[in-house]
Each structure stands twice: as structure tokens, then as C-alpha cells.
Structure 1
Amino acid sequence: MDIQLDKAPCGYFSISDAGIIQSVNQTLLDMLLYERDQLLGRPIEMTMSVTNKLFFHTYFYPYIQLYGRVDEMYFSFRTSDRQDMPVLLNGIRHERNGEAVIDCVVLVMRKRIEHEKDILQTKTKLQELYQATNEANQELERLHEEYEIKQQELVRINLQLETMASTDPLTGLKNRRYFQDQLLASLASFQETGIPFSLLIIDIDHFKSINDTYGHPVGDLVLTHLAELLQSLSRDVDIVARYGGEEFVIILPGNDQQEAIRTAERYRTMTASRDWEEYSITVSIGVATVTQADTEQSIVHQADLALYASKSGGRNRVTHSASLVEK
């Protein structure tokens, strides 16, 4: 960690999705009265009271998994000498070195009247519990066991939420949001390594006539079956997603122009030759291979132009954007 971040006027820590501390700056160590080796590789929950652990798992984790960030969350850490330290907590979830991490910034709160009211209410409730009889202590133990069970359930629900946030509900493929995130990651990887990738946009020919002839339930079935075919023909490293309507997108890591055209032709021919029972479908495909000048918008635009050329050229064909002649 560079000295500017280590000595920044705000606390900083980075955790894995499982809540394990990966890095922490000196400012936060000074706030919490810990040494660096006491925190690194340990769960972030060790710096929290039982109440704030529950708050952290109930609000922070689900929110950042669903939206990718948390802004100005009122929170309270516990110092090594067991003093509560109210803070404003900002976090953002992203990928670093191929793994999901959550980077957080901590600011000690100065104006905290509303938060202190909440803390006071929590302390009052805890004092009532601690002053209660042995029966109340037993109830607290029971509640703690129940909390552990609910915490496990929250982990399971968080995983479900993450899956739902990136999955198309009809086809089971990844959705447009996931595709856009992966496209940005692919562009960044290309800029760093120079290893090319290609993008396919696949559109079902005359899909409206299928809906008009057989009805929307059959149209949905066609989309589902095509999604299964595309996924079965793809490699594990390929990103297959539903872009919207009857359009699908596929990112082909490592594929140059010629490899991408061959792959697209395989998708096209397998779709055309498959037994679709009482109906038949074909697809038109636009292909673009990344260049140094490409952005997220430009490569999608190039693939879209190539798809339009396939459509206007008679459908059931593959067109690479490099073959388009500007008029």
C-alpha cells in the first residue's frame, strides 16, 4: 500500500465477498487501536459488536451485492478496547485480479445526533438484557443461535440475489447488465495484454411472425431453446447473454476475426439445421473484433452494423464489420 493511501485522512479497508480483510490503512488501524497483523486475514466482523454484525449482514452485504456500492451508511465499529466508534461507511464492489473485492472508506462522524439516538436505544436494550435474570440470559443465548442460523440464510439469500441480478429470468442466460460489465472487463484485458476478443450479436430471423403465428408462449419457448443451443455450443470462457427481445450477444475471448467468423458460422448452421419441430428458425449474426480504438459503445455499434448487413443481405448469414464498405 502506498504511503499516501496508508496515511490518508480517512480509514480504508478492503475485504473479500466472504468478509475477510485483505488490506487496511494505518489511519483505520489508529482509529480502531489495532496492529495491522491483528486484522489482515481476519473477518471484518471482529471489529463489530453483535448488534452491528447483524446490521452489517442485514443491510450492507445485500445492498452492495445488489447495487455494487453503498454510500454514506451510518455504522459503528468497535475499537480494540471495546469502545464504539460511529462512522460514515462508503463501499464499492468490483473485480481485482479476477476476484470480487469490496473497497471501503470510513469517516469518523462529527454530526451524529440521529445516529447517537439509534445507538442509545440499542445500548438501552442491551443493558436491559444484561440486567435481566438467568432466564433472560438463556433467551439471549437462544437468540444468538437463531442469529447464526439467520446469518447462514442471509449468505444463501445474498448468493441468490447476486445470481438474480445477473440472470435473464426467461432463458437462464446472463442478462444485459452482466454482459456490459464483462464487455468492459474484456476491453480492459485487451488493453493490458493485447489478446483479442470478438463480439457476436445474434438475432432470430422473422421472430415476429413466430409470435404472430404460434403465439407468445411458443415464441418464449423458441428463445429458451435457442439459448440452450448457444450455451451448449460455447466454451466455458465464452460469455453468452440475452441482449433483449430476440437478440443474443456472445463475447469470444481470444478469437480474432477469422476465428470469430468460423464460430459464428457454427452457431448459424447448427441453428438452421436443428429440428425445431413444427416451426423452423434461422439467425442472422453480426461480428466485430476488438481494435485499439474501440470503446464499449463502438464495438457494439460495429457488431450491430454487421448484423444489419446480414439482415438486409438476405438473413441467415454472418457478416463481420471489417467487411463493411463505407459509402
Structure 2
Amino acid sequence: MEDWILGIPTPVAMALIALIGYFLGKRNHRPVSAEQAYARRELKRAKAIVKQLEEISREVRRNLASHQSSIAHFKERIVLMSSHENETGESWQTLCEEAERMLSPTMRLSAQIANAYDEVRQQANLLMTFTESRTDPLTGLSNRRALDDSLESLFAMKDRYELTFSLCILDVDHFKKINDEYGHLEGDRVLQEVASLIDNCVRETDVVTRYGGEEFVILMPSTDLAGGLIFAERVREAVEQRLKVTVSGGVAQASNTDEPQTLLARADSALYRAKSRGRNCIFCHTGDCVQEHPASDSSAATLAHENAEELLEEVRSLEKMLGQRESDKAASHQQKQAETV
């Protein structure tokens, strides 16, 4: 006689249990969503910031501990001299020499603390990009306010330590057409995809912001103009290959005469040239003039070559068609002559 479980035959019950287990397992192993992937990247970035702050703190503590020992020794010498008022000028000379020896590490410590202050300030600006008031709600990237704070910090570091950095503006090509033809929801989805791709291409120390509309600004510390161009071209190629849109870009390196607005203006002028050039390319502002990135130029040359080949093929086809038409016309003329005769 067949066994029953809860009024159901045992084989049927076991099959149902296996089926339920299969669907539960499939549900638990579902692919990681875009939101989860973004959260993991942000968590990784936060850990890097905390690690940097810990290293700065350890360095300052180590230097302070060493300097505190020198101060304690110097203080003991002063107390000892005070208790022997009849000491000769020789002891005073020795004390002056010790003070001179301690002056150099004291000045070094002062510079290190100032440097640590600037580094902590820079890391604090990176931490501020996690706050809601400095985050773009659509893309999850930093917003214009976070960009202004980060630019101020990078210019302060540049002025104090001559640390270079570059700025890149990327703009989604024909974005208005996307909104007009497919609606704003599709436009928002495109912006989110582009933002996610850019965020995957940058380093942990870079700052990615949504500058406004379909424009994105990337700050790249310790990066010269050549490095900024390499990054921008890499993003341009990735967008072209993986997404259904293209981007144009303008890159500029901060100079000694720059301030935040002038640096943004130079990168924006390079972007404008890329747009007028035909889009899907990268231009840079060297400080003196605007130039096209060589890789973009070679891409344009390749495209021109392909267009020329297509045009040549069309000409050949047209010549063939005209030749056939002349041949048919001659044959028709001969036939009429034969009929007349």
C-alpha cells in the first residue's frame, strides 16, 4: 500500500519538495543587481578612504612620539642648568647646540602635520560625497556641490605641494533626441548606464560627478594631461562598444594660473570642439590651444576611409547601371533598324 504525507502520495510529496527547493535555490542565487554592484563599489571606496585616514593618523602619532622624546630630553637639560646657576658658558653653548639639533626635526614635524591636515581634508571631501546633500539622486554619483568642494581641495593641494591633477567633462551625444523619441524614462536609464560605466573605469581616488543634465565631470588627482586623455578615450571606447549611445569629451590639466572656473571652462571648450567635430571623440585644452586626441583622430580617419569606400562602391554600381542602360538602348535601336528594313 502506498505511503501518504499530509494526504499526498509520498512520491508526489517528495517531487513537490524537490521542486520547491529548486526554485528557492534559484532565487537565492539570482544575479547581483546594478544597485548591489554599485553599493559594493561604494563600500570598497569607503574602506579605501578609512584606510588612508588610518595611515595618516599612524604617521602623525609616530612622528609626535619621536618628537615628544626630544622635547623631554631638552626639558631635562634646561632643568639641570637651572639647578646649577654657576655653570660656565660652555654648558650654555652645549644647550644652544642641542636646541639647534632639535630645530630641524621640529620644522619637519610642522611640515608633516600641515601635509597631514591637507590629506585629511582631501579624504574628508571624499567622505562628503557619501552624504545625501552631495549625491545625485538619479545616478548615485557626486553632485555639483561635491565637485566644488573637491576642486577647492585639489587646488589647495596643488598650490601647497605642486601636485598636479586633470579634469575631464564627458557629454552623452544626441541626448535630447533620446528624450524626444523614447521618453524621459529611457533618457534616465541611459544616464544611469553611462554613470555606472564611468564609475567602473575610474580609480578609488578619482571623483565622478554628474555636472548637470547629460554631462559628467571626473577629477583625477596626480594625473597629467596625457593620463587624462588615456582615461577619457578608454571611457569613450567602452561606451561605444557596450552601450547604444556615444559620448564626447574635453580634458584639461590644472595649470598654475588656473582656478576652478577657468579649468572647467578650458575643459568645456575642448568638449565644444569635440561636439562640433562630429561627436564621439575626445579633445583637450593644452593651455594654449584645443587639440584632438590622436586616437580619436585615427578613428575619424578610419571612418572617413570607410565612407570613401562606400562612396566608391556606389559610383561603381552607378557606372554599371548606366553601362547596362546604354547597352539596352543600343540593342533597342538595332532592333528598330532591323524591323524597318
Q: Which has the larger radius of gyration?
A: 2
TM-score (norm 1): 0.50
Structure with higher strand content? 1
TM-score (norm 2): 0.48
